[in-house]
């Protein structure tokens, strides 16, 4: 795409391949990030590659997900990650420092750089003008080991912003509006690149909110220009030297253009149980609420929380509402304490918790049974909050705060309350939560591995005949939370695949693990957008452990499809989507001449019980075919090293 920011950065980092939509390219990765929910697996894989120091300019290991230490498991994982970080030259962010995406924005993000992260919300960095991509843990481990990442060139959708947000409107309303336009499948294979006069009206943290939730569109990433607002934000963090101006050319060409007039937006909410189930607050009406949660990597910035403090100042949280606030970083929490905003929150009756992901991933603060919870988070999948029958709505910080006071979902424009403009402030440098790897190496730093950390499963090279029994027939939009639930009970076992295997698909089908053990070799049938949501590769590794050989779906979410391939599980697509209706549990399936079929992308699946044959395809790139034939990415790397 001529003149786009996306193609400028990709061209500057191109190692091999043609920069054309759909083509496979390899690009240089400047930075990586991991978090502890996915990080243990990343660093087990990095250790398995037997590398010395990372090849990136900067890699950071954040602890922000599993910070609730009710037993030894999480603390052991943290010690393991810290030891591997020291061995390989990776910065280690201690628990309490904050949420990885907010911290990376504050401390390390640089316009024009590439960032790969083992978290689906890594595109937050696009608010600074980075190509920031979420990926599976193995892809991030390889990026650290080799300094590169292979992907298919995405299409570039230009989002033209005009006008200016009205009072009580925020960046959250912008991305909810776009989700309503495009749906959770609308960004697959695309980058959303923002341009237009409205861009200048948005701060970097506003932009980061929008790029963060671009992940809910299924987009490869989202990106904003780097302009004077970017310079001001970097200066506020003491990093003005990192500023680089970056914008699309005036004659830039896009595959598609969307137009959003910021002046016309109204307060919005995503209703249960999907981020694209969006309606206006006015349309939904003043429903009674039981809980409000403000924070997460989407809306925990200084400006977000200062707006919340202004709304709460001198007011009282409704008696029937529990309000919980989780600041995005230790620097933000410190500043709120210094300027008195924290006192306003506490006096109003808010519960202020640790700077961490917390409630967003079901790590504490689960709503009451059947409760209605307003959250400034990015996902409201059924059961993700920790309460299976909770009704979770996604809203802006302004809507959340005023609703906490009123006790019902409230459109702040109708309250008559004036909201002052919130400016960025100057933050003091604080490295007290960062462990620098300088002086540490593989020779003087042993790996610290507790008893809960188990080896990850490895596949075998693909056989010529692949057989499996159908162990699940799933619907559309199955999430990685459905495949491998993530909650306070299970998060401590993210480094223990055998234990997690007992809970695979537990919220959809409690009998799934037992059925897999009987079948020994299983296949999954699914609808559209299979594997949407988190980047967690546990949603591929656990099915691999349970013997899943292949999946046939109508379509896939990008990251999960990559994770399946990296594990050696074949992700197939129905050539005729109506064939989905023919499959039932326990049907025995066979792919003959599988290796050649994958090479030719002409994969016939035979149902041995009905005798019918079904045409499927994979649209595999050359590298993906090599990975599948080897039985997974680590096997392919080992084969290459042995030659």
What pLDDT is recorded for position 246?
Answer: 98
- Same domain as 177, residue 45: yes
What pLDDT is recorded for position 506?
Answer: 92
The residue among 362 and 527 whose pLDDT is bigger is 527
Answer whether 477's CB lies under 8 Å from 557's CB: no
pLDDT band, residue 362 (cuts 50/70/90): confident
Q: Which residue reads 């009072």 in tokens?
A: 167
Q: What CATH number has the domain bearing residue 182?
A: 3.30.499.10
- Same domain as 295, residue 233: no
What pLDDT is recorded for position 208?
Answer: 98
Residue 276 within any structural domain of the chain: yes
Domain total of the chain: 3
Residue 612 within any structural domain of the chain: yes
- Same domain as 206, residue 79: yes
Mean pLDDT check: name the lowest of 136-145, 418-427, 595-604: 418-427
User: What is the model's pTM?
Assistant: 0.95
Rounded to whole angstroms, the Cα distance separating 385 from 389 reads: 10
Residue 425 within any structural domain of the chain: no
Is residue 43's pLDDT more than 80? yes
Rounded to whole angstroms, the Cα distance separating 469 from 521 reads: 6
Residues 217-236 as b or e (16 or more Cβ within 10 Å = b): bbbbbbbbbbbebbbebbeb
Residue 71 within any structural domain of the chain: yes
- Same domain as 373, residue 272: yes
Residue 368 within any structural domain of the chain: yes
Mean pLDDT check: name the lowest of 43-47, 318-322, 391-395, 484-488: 484-488
Is residue 1's pLDDT more than 60? no
Q: Which residues contact 379 (CB under 8 A, 6 or more apart)?
A: 216, 275, 360, 394, 481, 533
Rounded to whole angstroms, the Cα distance separating 160 from 198 reads: 8
End-of-domain residue from the set 204, 238, 264:
264
Of 599, 576, 585, nearest to 524 (Cα)?
585
- Same domain as 478, residue 365: no
Q: Over the stretch 329-349, which tens digit does the pLDDT of each residue have? A: 999 999 999 999 999 999 999
Give the DSSP letter string of 392-408.
EEE--HHHHHHHHHHSB
- Same domain as 578, residue 500: yes
Is residue 133's pLDDT more than 90? yes
Residue 246 within any structural domain of the chain: yes
Give the neighbor-by-neighbor strand order of the sheet with 14-16: 14-16, 24-28, 148-152
End-of-domain residue from the set 264, 280, 299:
264
Give how far Cα 545 sits from Cα of 141, 498, 576, Å: 20, 7, 30
Q: What CATH number has the domain bearing residue 636?
A: 3.20.19.10
- Same domain as 228, residue 210: yes
Is residue 106's pLDDT more than 80? yes
Q: By percentage, how much of the chain surpasses pLDDT 90?
A: 92
Give the domain range for residue 323.
268-411
Tokens matching residue 31 = 């930075």
Q: Over the stretch 471-486, which tens digit does the pLDDT of each residue have? A: 999 999 999 999 999 8
Is residue 84's pLDDT more than 90? yes
Residue 331 within any structural domain of the chain: yes
Give how far Cα 140 sits from Cα of 39, 41, 116, 146, Å: 10, 11, 6, 10
What pLDDT is recorded for position 417?
Answer: 92
pLDDT band, residue 184 (cuts 50/70/90): very high
Tokens matching residue 320 = 């029937």
pLDDT band, residue 352 (cuts 50/70/90): very high
Answer whether 36's CB lies under 8 Å from 78's CB: yes
Answer whether 265's CB lies under 8 Å from 165's CB: yes
Q: Over the stretch 531-590, which tens digit does the pLDDT of each residue have? A: 999 888 999 999 999 999 999 999 999 999 999 999 999 999 999 999 999 999 999 999
Q: Which residue reads 């129905």 in tokens?
A: 574
- Same domain as 32, residue 11: yes
Cα dihedral sign, 350-354-360-365 = negative
Rounded to whole angstroms, the Cα distance separating 216 from 277 reads: 12
Answer whether 505's CB lies under 8 Å from 472's CB: yes
Answer whether 258's CB lies under 8 Å from 336's CB: no
Give the DSSP letter string of 265-313.
---EEEPTT-TT-EEEHHHH---B-SEEEE-TTTS-SHHHHHHHHHHHT
What is the chain's mean pLDDT, rounded? 96
pLDDT band, residue 640 (cuts 50/70/90): confident
Cis peptide leading into residue 273 (ω within 30°): yes
- Same domain as 595, residue 553: yes
What are the residue ranges of helices labelled H in 49-203? 72-88, 100-107, 137-146, 171-182
pLDDT band, residue 301 (cuts 50/70/90): very high
- Same domain as 618, residue 579: yes
- Same domain as 212, residue 340: no
Answer whether 618's CB lies under 8 Å from 572's CB: yes
Please work out, in degrees rounded to the nearest 5, the angle formed at the alpha carbon of residue 290 by the alpha carbons of 286 and 296: 100
What pLDDT is recorded for position 586?
Answer: 96
Residue 523 within any structural domain of the chain: yes
Is residue 421's pLDDT more than 90? no
Is residue 642's pLDDT more than 80? no
Answer whether 88's CB lies under 8 Å from 5's CB: no
End-of-domain residue from the set 264, 290, 317:
264
Is residue 155's pLDDT more than 70? yes
- Same domain as 344, residue 240: no
Please work out, in degrees rounded to the nearest 5, the angle formed at the alpha carbon of residue 315 by the alpha carbons of 379 and 270: 20
């Amino acid at each position: 795409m001529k003149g786009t920011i996306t193609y400028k950065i990709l061209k500057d980092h191109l190692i091999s391949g043609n920069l054309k939509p759909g083509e496979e390219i390899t690009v240089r990765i400047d930075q990586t990030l991991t978090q502890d929910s996915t990080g243990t697996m990343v660093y087990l894989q990095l250790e398995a590659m037997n590398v010395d120091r990372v090849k990136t300019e900067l890699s950071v290991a954040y602890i922000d997900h599993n910070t609730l230490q009710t037993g030894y498991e999480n603390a052991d994982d943290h010690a393991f990650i810290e030891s591997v970080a020291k061995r390989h030259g990776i910065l280690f962010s201690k628990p309490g420092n904050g949420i990885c995406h907010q911290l990376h924005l504050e401390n390390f993000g640089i316009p024009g750089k590439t960032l790969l992260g083992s978290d689906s919300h890594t595109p937050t960095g696009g608010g600074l003008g980075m190509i920031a991509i979420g990926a599976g843990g193995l892809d991030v481990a390889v990026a650290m080991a080799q300094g590169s990442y292979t992907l298919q060139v995405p299409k570039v959708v230009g989002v033209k912003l005009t006008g200016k947000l009205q009072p009580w409107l925020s960046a959250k309303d912008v991305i909810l509006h776009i989700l309503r336009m495009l749906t959770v499948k609308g960004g697959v294979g695309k980058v959303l690149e923002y341009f237009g006069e409205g861009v200048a009206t948005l701060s970097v943290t506003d932009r980061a909110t929008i790029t963060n939730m671009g992940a809910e569109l299924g987009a490869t990433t989202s990106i904003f220009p780097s302009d004077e607002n970017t310079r001001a934000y970097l200066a506020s963090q003491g990093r003005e030297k990192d500023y680089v101006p970056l914008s699309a050319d005036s004659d830039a060409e896009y595959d598609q253009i969307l137009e959003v007039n910021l002046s016309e937006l109204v307060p919005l909410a995503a209703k249960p149980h999907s981020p694209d189930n969006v309606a206006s607050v006015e349309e939904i009406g003043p429903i009674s609420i039981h809980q409000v949660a403000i924070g997460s990597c989407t809306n925990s910035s200084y400006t977000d929380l200062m707006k919340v403090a202004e709304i709460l100042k001198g007011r009282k949280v409704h008696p029937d509402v529990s309000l919980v606030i989780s600041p995005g970083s230790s620097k933000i929490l410190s500043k709120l304490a210094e300027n008195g905003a924290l006192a306003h929150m506490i006096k109003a009756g808010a519960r202020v918790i640790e700077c961490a992901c917390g409630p967003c991933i079901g790590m504490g603060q689960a709503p009451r049974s059947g409760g209605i919870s307003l959250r400034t988070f990015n996902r409201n999948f059924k059961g993700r909050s920790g309460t299976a029958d909770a009704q979770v709505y996604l809203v802006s910080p302004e809507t959340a705060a005023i609703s906490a006071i009123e006790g019902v979902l409230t459109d702040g424009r109708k309250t008559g309350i004036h909201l002052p403009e919130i400016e960025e402030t100057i933050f003091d440098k604080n490295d007290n939560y960062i462990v620098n790897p300088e002086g540490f190496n593989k020779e003087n730093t042993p790996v610290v591995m507790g008893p809960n950390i188990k080896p990850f499963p490895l596949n075998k090279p693909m056989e010529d005949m692949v057989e499996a029994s159908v162990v699940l027939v799933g619907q559309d939009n199955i999430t990685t939370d459905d495949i491998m639930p993530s909650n306070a009970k299970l998060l401590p076992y993210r480094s223990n695949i055998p234990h997690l295997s007992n809970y695979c698909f537990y919220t959809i089908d409690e009998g799934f693990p037992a059925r897999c053990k009987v079948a020994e070799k299983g296949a999954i049938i699914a609808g559209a957008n299979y594997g949407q949501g988190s980047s967690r590769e546990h949603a591929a590794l656990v099915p691999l452990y349970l013997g899943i050989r292949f999946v046939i779906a109508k379509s896939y979410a990008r990251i999960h499809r990559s994770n399946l391939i990296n594990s050696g599980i074949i992700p197939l697509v129905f050539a005729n989507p109506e064939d989905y209706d023919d499959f039932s549990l326990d049907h025995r399936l066979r792919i003959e001449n599988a290796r050649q079929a994958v090479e030719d992308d002409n994969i016939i699946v035979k149902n041995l019980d009905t005798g019918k044959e079904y045409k499927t395809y994979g649209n595999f790139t050359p590298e993906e075919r090599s990975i599948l034939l080897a039985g997974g990415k680590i096997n392919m790397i080992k084969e290459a090293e042995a030659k």
